[in-house]
Amino acid sequence: MEYSNELNALIESKLNQPRPVSQTTLKKYISTYQYLTDMLNKSDDWVLDASTAQLVQIINKLDTKSSGKLLYLNLFIMMRADSLDIQTLIDLRTKLTKKREIETKDYIQHKRETLPDYTTITKYIEDLYKNKKYTDYLVNYLIFTYGLRNKDINLTIITNENYKKTDIAKNYLIIRKTDCMLMINDYKTVNSYGVKKIVVRSRRVLDSANKLCEGLLLTNKFNEPVSDDNLSYYINLYDGLNESDYFKINLLHIQTQPNPIKELAKISKTRGSNNIQTLNTHYNISI
């Protein structure tokens, strides 16, 4: 597919910057730009050709929350980083960021009132194992215990012997003699934090992996790999919850335990972030 010159320039700059963005992030930029371009019936280098006032008007007219508006606005800012009137867009970003913080607090309060508790989720996961639903068990256990995102769980089960023979960098659940090792090469913040290596000492995880044997953890009805874009369809969590909900429930539980700071740091790392403040802003539903 041919892209506009301004989109090609953005792609090139993001790939050649000191810390290149991941392919997932790059795809998000492209899809966001193309969606807005089609929605507004624009063509060519319309972002660079528009006046700042026109871009501000586009953002303000969007029928979406502040987080959605910021997604498009940040794209404008990246594309017009060298323009003389960039400050107007930056000021709008500051305004929308403050509004998003208020919306986030309201959303988190709603989640606190509606999400199930930690015990409910752990019992649900235990029942998956007891009922021999090993795929769902692994998906739920790993996401809930380590704060993993959907993309992290799109992995291959492999024996330690075969893992040593492969040079393909993807996500693995490695079966060892007495435990398993998660090797996450492809996740949202990999360019910032590198490969995630997580030792999983659960005997039930080891048993489930052995029973499922080597192969993809998630497949479609044709036994083919699941694309990252369709993962949510194949990941069955408790009562329609998502991985972000699981993470919120876990954070609330951790804060009731001895030495919560240490545990928060651990789950922050396994999720793919070293910023506890980010967890507090976007996921903490405690009061």
Query: Which pLDDT belongs to residue 277?
Result: 63
Percentage, residues of the chain above pLDDT 70:
95
* Residues 160 and 179: beta-carbon distance below 8 Å: no
Assess if residue 173 is contained within a domain. yes
Using 50, 70 and 90 to split pLDDT, how confident is the model at 82? confident
Strand ranges of the sheet holding 180-184, from the earlier edge strand across to the other edge:
196-200, 180-184, 172-175, 156-159, 215-216
On the question of pLDDT at 107 being above 80, the answer is: no
Residues 41 and 124 in one domain: no
- Residues 21-53 pLDDT 10s: 888 889 999 999 999 999 999 999 999 999 999
Residues 44 and 11 in one domain: yes
Query: Which pLDDT belongs to residue 287?
Result: 45
Assess if residue 261 is contained within a domain. no
Residues 144 and 37 in one domain: no
From residue 159, alpha-carbon distances to 153, 162, 174, 218, 247 in Å are 17, 5, 5, 17, 29
**Which of 74, 109, 144 is at the close of a domain?**
109
State whether residue 30 is helix, strand or coil.
helix
What pTM value is reported for the model?
0.71
- Residues 175-203 pLDDT 10s: 999 999 999 999 888 878 889 999 999 99
Mean per-residue pLDDT of the chain = 91
Find all residues with CB under 8 Å of 10, minimum gap 6, and list them.
29, 33, 75, 78, 79
Domain of residue 159, residue span: 118-235
On the question of pLDDT at 283 being above 80, the answer is: no
- Residues 249-279 pLDDT 10s: 998 899 888 888 888 889 989 998 766 666 6
